[in-house]
């Protein structure tokens, strides 16, 4: 179904530019820049992003793809491959699915969008990416985009049950001024990060900055009898995305610290680890975890790497949460050492601070976290 003509005013966002906070995402909804086929639910709105909902059908595809400049995603999907999600269906481990979302976009020329998996999605090892019509890149909707949104979904460790309305990824919106329209990067430089760290700590102790904040993996004993990580079991039961209360030990093997502080990553295995550093995200910034060196290639460490404003904040203003690391080794075994550099946080300015920060509203499942699995699992 074609989208109706744009009817929103060109500027209803004030004088600021950067990532849009929840209150401005609500303006986008009212102005028709976000055009859902069903009304947005309040719980979809996060401090600096909007959770996206699966539509009523999924399509199993042979392989991941991008439509390219001339085609829409729907042209490449076959009704013979459709799966009804109305009452729930299982997406099998190792298969690839494309799912039209309930949300569409009608962006003005000053706003672009970028997506990433939700934290719980990444911790379940569900590889999820956004696809837009006529696109040549995943997880991007260019400024001025009008059209349908799709999720590419490929469960890697567990088969999962989803349904219409399930939420696997989220989208955030960047408002650009005339000098930013051709920029590819929006990261705050190390000099400004150092100044911010001096006034309010971004991380416990000294800030190790190298085009962002350096993070190191924690493989030493944190507390007596506590694991230093978890490894996904290969033949576990199906996980229902919208259910909690699963027994941890039915799905995960605990990893115990070794005397030498090492962990050998086996190819194809999926691990949940944690950073040594405790951190916090200031109210006027958001952050994303990126590889320390894209050419390194031995392992992937960021399936869901977005950190909302307020993440990790504590009542005493000190950094209060560790970064959880979703790690998969590639072709060869790889030895991690306790304290080894494993990623970095890149910070970006908000157009304005959210009225409600992470940890102050619903859906803040990981505030104050240490090593923590997704919200679906409980001890015992």
Residues 234 and 168 reside in one and the same domain: no
DSSP secondary structure letter of residue 21: P
DSSP secondary structure letter of residue 26: H
Q: Give, for 329, the enclosing helix (H) or strand (E).
A: strand 321-329
> What pLDDT is recorded for position 72?
96
> What pLDDT is recorded for position 182?
62
> What pLDDT is recorded for position 304?
57
Please, is 178 exposed, middle or buried when counting C-beta atoms within 10 Å of its C-beta (0-12, 13-18, 19+)?
exposed
Residues 152 and 195 reside in one and the same domain: no
CB 311 within 8 A of CB 275: no
Give the model confidence (pLDDT) of 177-197 as tens digits.
766 656 556 889 999 999 999
pLDDT in tens, the chain (380 residues): 344 444 444 446 777 889 999 999 999 999 999 999 999 999 999 999 999 999 999 999 999 999 999 999 999 999 999 999 999 999 999 999 999 999 999 999 999 999 999 999 999 999 999 999 999 999 999 999 999 999 999 999 999 999 999 999 999 999 987 666 565 568 899 999 999 999 999 999 999 999 999 999 999 987 788 999 999 998 999 999 999 999 999 999 999 999 999 999 999 899 999 999 999 999 999 999 887 765 555 667 765 578 999 999 888 778 989 999 999 888 789 899 999 998 889 999 999 999 999 887 666 677 777 899 999 999 76
Residues 194 and 322 reside in one and the same domain: yes
Residues 68 and 118 reside in one and the same domain: yes
Residue 289 lies in a domain: yes
Residue 181 lies in a domain: no
DSSP secondary structure letter of residue 201: -
Residues 167 and 239 reside in one and the same domain: no
> What pLDDT is recorded for position 281?
95
> What pLDDT is recorded for position 3?
41
Q: Give, for 171, the enclosing helix (H) or strand (E).
A: strand 167-175
Rg (CA), the chain: 20
Domain of 270, CATH number, reads: 2.70.40.10
Domain boundary, last residue among 116, 146, 175: 175
In sequence order, the β-bridge partners of residue 43 are none
Residue 13 lies in a domain: no
CB 63 within 8 A of CB 81: no
Q: How far separated are the first and last CA of the chain, in Å rounded? A: 48
Residues 224 and 312 reside in one and the same domain: yes
Residues 137 and 258 reside in one and the same domain: no
Residue 2 lies in a domain: no
In sequence order, the β-bridge partners of residue 337 are 262
In angstroms, the CA 30 to CA 134 distance is 26
Residues 204 and 333 reside in one and the same domain: yes
> What pLDDT is recorded for position 302?
63
Residue range(s) defining the domain that contains residue 144: 18-175
CB 344 within 8 A of CB 294: no
Residue 358 lies in a domain: yes
Residue 187 CB contacts under 8 Å (≥ 6 apart), including other chains: 211, 212, 346, 347, 348
Please, is 89 exposed, middle or buried when counting C-beta atoms within 10 Å of its C-beta (0-12, 13-18, 19+)?
middle
Residue 1 lies in a domain: no
Q: How many domains does the chain have?
A: 2
Residue reference for tokens 């929103």: 8
Residues 235 and 146 reside in one and the same domain: no
Residue 294 lies in a domain: yes
Residues 210 and 109 reside in one and the same domain: no
Let me know how long the chain is. Answer: 380
Residue 185 lies in a domain: no
Residues 215 and 161 reside in one and the same domain: no
Residues 223 and 106 reside in one and the same domain: no
Domain boundary, last residue among 145, 175, 205: 175
Domain boundary, last residue among 137, 152, 175: 175
Residue 115 CB contacts under 8 Å (≥ 6 apart), including other chains: 52, 129, 130, 139, 140, 141, 169, 170, 171, 172
> What pLDDT is recorded for position 297?
57
Q: What are phi and psi of 180, to 5 degrees?
A: -100, -5
> What pLDDT is recorded for position 184?
58
> What pLDDT is recorded for position 4?
42
């Amino acid at each position: 179904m074609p989208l109706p003509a744009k009817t929103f005013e060109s500027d209803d966002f004030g004088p600021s530019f950067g990532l849009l906070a929840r209150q401005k995402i609500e303006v986008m909804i009212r102005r028709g820049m976000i055009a859902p086929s069903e009304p947005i639910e309040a719980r979809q709105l996060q401090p600096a992003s909007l959770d996206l909902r699966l539509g009523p059908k999924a399509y199993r595809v042979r392989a991941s793809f991008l439509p390219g400049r001339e085609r829409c995603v729907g042209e490449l999907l076959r009704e013979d491959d459709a799966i009804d999600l109305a009452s729930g269906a299982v997406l099998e481990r190792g298969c690839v699915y494309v799912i039209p979302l309930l949300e569409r976009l009608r962006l003005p020329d000053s706003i672009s969008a970028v997506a990433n998996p939700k934290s719980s999605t990444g911790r379940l090892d569900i590889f999820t990416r956004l696809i837009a019509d006529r696109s040549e890149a995943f997880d991007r909707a260019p400024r001025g985009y009008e059209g349908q949104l799709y999720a590419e979904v490929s469960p890697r460790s567990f088969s999962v049950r989803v349904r219409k309305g399930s939420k696997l990824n989220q989208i955030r919106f960047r408002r650009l001024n005339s000098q930013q329209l051709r920029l590819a990067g929006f990261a705050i430089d190390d000099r400004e990060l150092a100044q911010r760290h001096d006034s309010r700590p971004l991380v416990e102790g000294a800030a190790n900055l190298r085009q962002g904040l350096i993070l190191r993996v924690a493989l030493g004993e944190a507390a007596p009898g506590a694991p230093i990580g978890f490894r996904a079991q290969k033949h576990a039961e199906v996980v229902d995305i919208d259910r909690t209360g699963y027994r941890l030990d039915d799905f995960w093997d605990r990893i115990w610290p070794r005397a030498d502080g090492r962990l050998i990553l086996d190819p194809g295995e999926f691990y949940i680890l944690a950073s040594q550093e405790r951190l916090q995200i200031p109210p006027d910034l958001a952050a994303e975890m990126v590889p320390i060196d894209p050419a390194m290639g031995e392992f992937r460490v960021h399936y869901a790497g977005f950190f909302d404003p307020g993440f990790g904040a504590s009542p005493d203003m000190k950094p209060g949460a560790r970064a959880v690391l979703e790690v998969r080794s590639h072709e060869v075994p790889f030895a991690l050492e306790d304290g080894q550099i494993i990623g970095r946080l890149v910070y970006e300015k908000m157009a304005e601070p959210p009225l409600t920060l992470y940890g102050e509203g619903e859906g803040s499942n990981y505030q104050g976290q240490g090593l923590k699995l997704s919200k679906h699992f409980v001890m015992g």
